[in-house]
Amino acid sequence: MTNSILSDWTTPFELAPFAQISDDDFAPALDQALAAHNAEIDAIAANTEAPSFANTVEALEAAGEDLNKVLSVFFTVAGADSNPKREELQRAFSPKLAAHFAGISSNKALFSRVADLWDRRDGLDLAEEQARVLMLSHRGFVRAGAALEGDVDARMQEIKSRLATLGTSFTQNLLADERDWYMDLSEDDLHGLPDFVVDAARAAGKEKGADGPVVTLSRSIIVPFLQFSPRRDLREKAYRAWTARGANGGETDNREIAAEILTLRQERAQLLGYDSFADYKLETEMARTPDRVRDLLMQVWEPAKAQADADAEVLTEMMQDDGVNGPLEAWDWRYYAEKRRKAEHDLDEAALKPYLQLDRMIEASFACANRLFGLEFAPLDVPLYHPDCRAWEVTRNGQHVAVFIGDYFARGSKRSGAWCSAMRAQAKFPKVQAPVVINVCNFAKGDPALLSYDDARTLFHEFGHALHQMLSNVTYESISGTSVARDFVELPSQLYEHWLEVPEVLAEYATHAETGEPMPQEMLEKVLNAANFDQGFQTVEYVASALVDLAFHDGAAPADPMVKQAEVLAELGMPHAIGMRHATPHFAHVFAGDGYSSGYYSYMWSEVMDADAFAAFEEAGGAFDAERAKALEDNILSTGGSREAEDLYLAFRGRLPGVEALLKGRGLIAA
C-alpha cells in the first residue's frame, strides 16, 4: 500500500492529507525519501557531462521533493502536537538526518562540480538570481566542511551528528518540564485574579486532568498570574518553577547538554579555520563580527539598565508600602509594575483584555495586509493536524497566493513560544508552487479567547513572518521567503507589529467581547501612551540573554555555562529583580538548534531597522501609504534572499539607520 505521506496529495491546494497520515507512516516514509534523495544526489555527482548551472545547481534545487514532504509534515506535528511516539521518532530521526545532510555536504565529487562552476562564474552568463544561488551553494558547501579531508572531515561529521542529537534532547527535556509541572490553585488562591486569568487557569486544569484550576508553565498563563496574584508565596513558587525549566536535575536536566553543545560548536568552528563559533556564525549575517553585535547591545544596555534601576526603586517603595520588607524580587516585579501601570496610566489589563479578542485581532492582521498588499483571506474547511487549527486561502485580484494556517492555543503537546514555518515554500523551479504557511502561538483558550496586548503583538509579529513567506516571488526555493540573514529575518515581523498600534486599526477591531462596543477613545489613548511602559525591564531581560549568548560563542567554550552566565550578568550589573528572558537551561533559541546561536541579538538588530522602516510610512502618507507598501513588497517581502540584506534595505529606504530610532521607539531616550 502506498504510504500516505509519499502518495500524490489530491487534497485542496495539495495540502498534506493529515487525516490519512498515522505516526507509523513517518519512519518508512523517511527511509524511502532519504534513499530517493541519495539516488538523486549520486546521479548529480556522477554526471559525466561538464558541470553546468542546470545539471548541477538547478539539479540540486530540484532534488529531495519527497524528503521535503516528509519533513514538512513531521516537524510540523512534532513541534505543535507532539506525543511519546513522535518524540521517539524525533530522537531517531535527528542523527539520521544529520548524517544524511552531512553526507551531501562532504560529497567531494558533488563539491568539485559546484567549485568548478564557482571558479568559472564570470563566464557563465548567469542571471542575477542564478549567480546568487550559485554563490550561496558554494559558500554553503565550504562552511559545511566540504573542503575538509581525512580525519578532520570524519570528525566534522561526528560533530554534526552529535549536535543534532543534543539539540533534540534539549528540546524534548524542556517540553517535558513544561508539560509535567503545574501548581494547583484553591478557590481562595484565585482571589485578586481577573476573570480572564481564572478562566485560563480552569481551562488549564481541565487540560491537565486536575481537580480544579492550575497554573502551568505556559507564558500565556504564568505571566498574567505573576502580574495579578497578590499571593507572594504562590508567585515565588510559580516563578521558581518557570525559571528552573531544564535545570531540575535528573533525566530532563539541560545543563550538561548545553556545555557539550558549546564545546562541539567551538571545535566545529576551529576545524573550519575560525577563532570562535561566533566568528563563523556571524560571517554571513548583516552584523558580520562579534564586536559589532556587542557594540549594538551595549549601546542599548546602558540606557535600558538606567531605566530599569530607576523603575526598581519605585517598585520597591510600592512593595514596602504594602508592608513587605526586603529587596524587590523577580517574582514581585510584574505584580508591582502592573499596579504602577494602572496607577500612572489608569490602564487595567483586566479591563483592556475583553477588547482584544483573538478572532478580532486575526481579522485586524488580515485587514492590514489587505490595505497594504491587496491580500484577501477566505476560510477553508480542510483536514488539519489538530482541531484547534484553522486555515484560509489567500488571494490577490482573484488569483491564489497561499494557504495560511493558524494554530493559536497553548496545549501540553506543543512546545512553548511562537513561530512561523512554511510547509511548502514559494518557488517557480522546477515547478510553480504556492506557499503553505503556518503561524503557531500559545495563547490561553477562552470563550471567547482574549489576548493580552503582548499576545496581540505576538500575533502581528508572526503574521509579519507569514507575509514574508506568502509574498515571496523568486525562482528558487533555497532563497525563498524567510531564507535571509538571521539578523534580517525579524525585520518584516517586527515591522508588522507597528500596525497593531495604528489608532484606526485598534478603533475598528478592538471591540468588547460582550457588548461589541469599540474600545473607548480614552482607553485607546491610554493603550498607546503606555506602549513603552516597563521598557527598562523588557529591554534588560532581552539584552542580557543576547549578551550571554554572544559570550558563550565568542571564544573558548565555557566548561560550565552556568558559571559563565553568572559571570556575564555580574559584569553587566544585572538588576537583582530581573531575570534573563531565557536562561541557559531553557534557552531553546540557542540550544535547540543552530538557528539563533550567536544570533539572539538579531531581534534587536532588526528592530533598529523596523523603527526606521515604519518611520518611512509615517513620513509619507501614513501607515497605509500605497507607495511605501509597494516599495516594502518589491524590495523586501517579495525578494527573499535573492540579494544581500543590506542592499535590500537600502533599496527600500535609501540609507541604513542608527540605533537612535530603536532607543526612541522604546522610550529609552527622548523622542
Query: Which DSSP category does 558 fall into?
Result: P
Closest CA to 604 of 459, 462, 495, 487: 487
Those residues whose C-beta lies under 8 Å from the C-beta of residue 159, and which sit 6 or more positions away, are 264, 267, 268, 271
Set 61, 129, 207, 462: catalytic member: 462
Pair 91, 172: CB distance under 8 Å: yes
**Residue 226 CA to its chain's centroid (Å):** 24
460: its cell numbers: 502581528
Nearest CA among 410, 429, 408 for reference residue 420? 408
From residue 206, give the alpha-carbon distance in Å to each of 132, 182, 257, 444: 52, 12, 33, 13
Q: What is the 3-state secondary structure (H, E, C) of 142-198?
A: HHHCCCCCHHHHHHHHHHHHHHHHHHHHHHHHHHHHHHHCEEECCCHHHCCCCHHHH
In this structure, what C-alpha cell is assigned to residue 493?
515581523
3-state secondary structure 247-285: CCCHHHCCHHHHHHHHHHHHHHHHHCCCCCHHHHHHCCC
Q: Which sign does the torsion angle of CA 652, 658, 660, 666 carry?
A: positive
For 368, half-sphere exposure in the C-beta direction (CA atoms, 13 angstrom radius) is 27
CA-derived radius of gyration, the chain: 25
Residue 506, φ and ψ in degrees, nearest 5: -65, -40
Would you call 514 a catalytic residue per the annotation?
no
Q: Is the dihedral of CA 84, 85, 90, 91 positive or negative?
A: positive
Per-residue DSSP letters for 475-543? S-GGGSTT-S-HHHHHHHHHHHHGGGG-HHHHHHH-B-TTT-PBPPHHHHHHHHHTTTTTHHHHHHHHH
Displacement of CA 363 from its chain's centroid (Å): 22
CB 220 within 8 Å of CB 455: yes
C-alpha cell at 428: 517557480
Which residue type, as a one-letter code, is found at position 413?
Answer: S
Buried b / exposed e across 511-544, counting CB within 10 Å, b at 16+?
A: bbbeeeebbeeebbebbeebbbbbbbbbbbbbbb
| Beta-ladder partners of 396 | 399
Say which residue the cell 481537580 belongs to.
Answer: 211
User: Residue type for 75, please?
Assistant: F
Contact 116, 245 (CB under 8 A): no
Query: Sign of the C-alpha dihedral, residues 640, 641, 645, 650?
Result: negative
Q: What is the rounded CA–CA span in Å between residue 225 and residue 269?
A: 43
With H, G, I as helix, E, B as strand and everything else as coil, classify residue 243: helix
Among all residues, which ones are annotated catalytic? 462
